[in-house]
């Protein structure tokens, strides 16, 4: 059944990412972090129930799952300039 592949976490995260890719990015062209990555990072922080931005930032430094599960290429950090 074709619908079943969307009922997995990976399928649902893919649908969320696909929806985020449809959003137009009106920021300046020199942004290093794609809007999709920023939105997926916010979604990851929400779905992982991190208690704070600091907790998410610490997870970002040690957890490769953010890239493999959420398909985030460049995870924003608190100290990003």
Q: Which domain holds residue 34?
A: 2-70
Q: 47 lies in a domain?
A: yes
- What gap in Å lies between CA 42 and CA 76, rounded to an integer? 9
22 assigned to some structural domain: yes
> Nearest 5 degrees, angle CA 21-CA 27-CA 31?
85
Residue 61 lies in a domain: yes
| Within-domain flag for 35 | yes
| pLDDT of the residue at 81 | 45
Residue 46 belongs to a domain: yes
pLDDT at position 24, please? 93
Q: How many domains does the chain have?
A: 1
Query: What's the average model confidence in pLDDT over 48-63?
Result: 82
Give the H/E segment covering residue 41.
helix 35-48
- Average pLDDT, integer, range 51-67: 80
How is residue 65 written in tokens?
Answer: 């799952």
Per-residue pLDDT, 6? 62
Domain-embedded: residue 80: no
The predicted-structure confidence for 1-54, as pLDDT tens digits, reads as follows 465 666 788 888 999 999 999 999 998 888 888 999 999 999 998 998 988 888
Structural domain contains residue 78 = no
pLDDT of residue 3: 58
């Amino acid at each position: 059944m074709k619908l079943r592949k969307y009922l997995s976490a990976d399928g649902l995260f893919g649908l969320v990412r696909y929806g985020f890719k449809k959003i137009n990015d009106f920021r300046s062209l020199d942004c290093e972090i794609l809007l999709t990555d920023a939105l997926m990072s916010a979604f990851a922080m929400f779905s992982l129930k991190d208690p704070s931005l600091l907790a998410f930032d610490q997870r970002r430094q040690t957890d490769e799952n953010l890239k493999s599960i959420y398909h985030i290429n460049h995870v924003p950090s608190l100290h990003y300039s």
